Structure 1
Amino acid sequence: MNHAHSLLDQQLQQMLPGSYVRRQHLAACPELQLWLVAPECINRPFSAEEQQRIAAYPAYWAVCWPGGLAMARYILDHPQLVRNKAVLDLGCGSGLVAIAAARAGAKRVIACDLDQQALAACRANAELNQTRQNNNELEFCTNFHRTDGIDIVLAADLLYDHHNHTLLDEFMTISQQVWLSESRAADIQHPAFDHIGQHHYATEPDSGHPDPYATSLLYCSRPGAKQ
């Protein structure tokens, strides 16, 4: 684990020199813990140069966004959603949702992200939470089009860019059961999806500033919906 800790520190310092990760339990999901940026590294003003580096080398995996927290909490509270199913977590980031699915009893969990650094963080976090104890070691990929046999697709905070909404039809080609959790997309207008709930979890770790995106909306595909 020391090696994983060191590797994540190196990755994080590309974005924010001098920063480091710390093993942290989550307020929203206290049964899980993750390697995330240490709160003292972000609970301060950033210089103009630091802001530029953060924009150039964003380490999305180093924090838990509200959408992922809401999705993970929902899965842990409703394990029947994923139990004994093959699950694909798209844009996995830190791996929180994938790890929650494994903990809830999914028979297979694939964590997918375009960012190799995110997948490295996901591996470290999966080991930290001992997902192997459930006989469902996480799998990792960078291209969701190459997955098959998926029962349910989970995607949290992927629709922050309006152009990403076109991905919804692609998700439906992987599985007819798709769940979304969004804190940055105010309203998803798609004929195959229904809004089913609203949850309030702030980004973790706490940066010391108000979180304008703390409310997440949960959606699921309609039974029998066609893409």
Structure 2
Amino acid sequence: MTSDTKRVGLNALHERLHRVLPNVQLTCQQLPQTPALKLWLLDELFPEQALEPGIVNAIMEEPPYWSFCWASGQVLAEFLINNPQWVKDRCVVDVGPGSGVVAIAAAQAGARKVIACDLDEDALTATAVNALENEVEIILSQNLDEALQEADLVTAADILYDRENLSLLTRFQQAERVLLADSRVPDLNPPGYQLLGEWQSCTWPDLGESSEYNGVRLFAAQP
């Protein structure tokens, strides 16, 4: 049943991906910074032929962001694996999971329960497929308020590409602890959060982004 569920999920993701990138496939890949963790990600970012303008526009309007592991996700996942005391025996709510990398790392590090919360069906499907690949259990949710009621720890990585999401940082503090990783807002200094440190990473597959997006800062809100 697990194999069938994963196959159905991958078929759905490929169908969605091929609407904008007809010649690109997802493959199961080890991450450079956390090789014990595997994700289904884009095999090849750019096909040999030039993309038609219509395809480029479609990518910009509805990017398949769940087919990448973003820099902040890699850093936060590695942090949880190396510091399992943050998640052990706790209920972790991962907001905006994308590929599911942070949620999966939390489960691997010993979380009692992991809830991945997103409004995007494709992101939840990608998270479910990748959870099956890594043999961990993750609950999927589209209701943030309900999820936060259960949360001992909230995690979020690279959700501030949209400044409107800044208001979420206050809501997250309903939980006892919050871990926030960001590479997009250089002047970020959210009230109630403390900077734990800065790490270097890059999105995988590598987008060739400006080096300014390779610096990931990790913030914590806690008692």
Are the equivalent residues in 2 in contact too, given 1:158–1:164 (CA < 8 A)? yes
* 1:113 match: 118
Distance 1:178 1:130, change over 3 A: same
Number of aligned residues: 216
Q: State whether structure 2 residue 177 is matched by structure 1 residue 172.
A: no
Determine if the alignment matches structure 1 residue 160 to structure 2 residue 165.
no
CA contact (8 A) 2:24 2:44 kept: no
1:161 Cα offset (Å):
2.0
What's the RMSD between the two structures over aligned residues? 1.7
- C-alpha separation in 1, matches of 2:155 and 2:106: 10
- Cα pair distance change 1:32/1:211, threshold 3 Å: farther
Matches within 5 A, 1:148-227: 148-173=149-174, 175-207=175-207, 209-212=208-211, 213-223=213-223
Contact 2:192–2:221 (8 Å) recurs in 1: yes
Cα offsets for 1:70-100 (capped at 9, x unmatched): 1001001111110110000000111100000
**Which residue is 2:91 aligned to?**
86
Q: 1:38 to 1:180 in 2, by over 3 A?
A: same
Question: Which 5+ residue runs of structure 1 have no aligned equivalent?
Answer: 132-136
Give the distance between the partners of 1:182 and 1:152, measured in 2 at CA.
17
- Please show how residues 22-171 of structure 1 align to structure 2 within 5 Å: 22-41=27-46, 46-131=51-136, 137-147=137-147, 148-171=149-172
**CA displacement, residues 195-219 of structure 1 (integer Å, 9 cap, x when unaligned):** 1110111100124x34431110000
Change (3 A) 1:90 1:16: same
How far the C-alpha of 1:191 sits from its partner, in A, is: 2.3
TM-score (norm 2): 0.91
d(CA) in 2 for partners of 1:3, 1:168? 34
The one-letter code of the counterpart of 1:193 is Y
Q: 1:81 to 1:43 in 2, by over 3 A?
A: farther
Q: Does 1:8 align with 2:32?
A: no
Task: Give per-residue Cα distances to partners, 1:141-166, cap 9 Å, x unaligned.
Answer: 01211122210000100112222211
Counterpart CA distance in 1 for 2:201 and 2:100 is 17
How far 1:114 sits from its partner (Å)?
1.1
- Quick one: structure 1 residues 85 and 64, their matched pair in 2 at CA, closer, same or farther if it must change by over 3 Å? same
1:109–1:43 CA distance, 2 compared to 1 (3 A): farther
- Quick one: distance in 2 between partners of 1:40 and 1:113? 24
Question: CA offsets, 1:10-50, max 9 Å, x none?
Answer: 12112322221111111011000011111254688544222
**TM-score, length-scaled by structure 1:** 0.89
Q: Distance in 2 between matches of 1:15 and 1:154?
A: 30
Q: 179-188 vs 209-218, which deviates more? A: 209-218
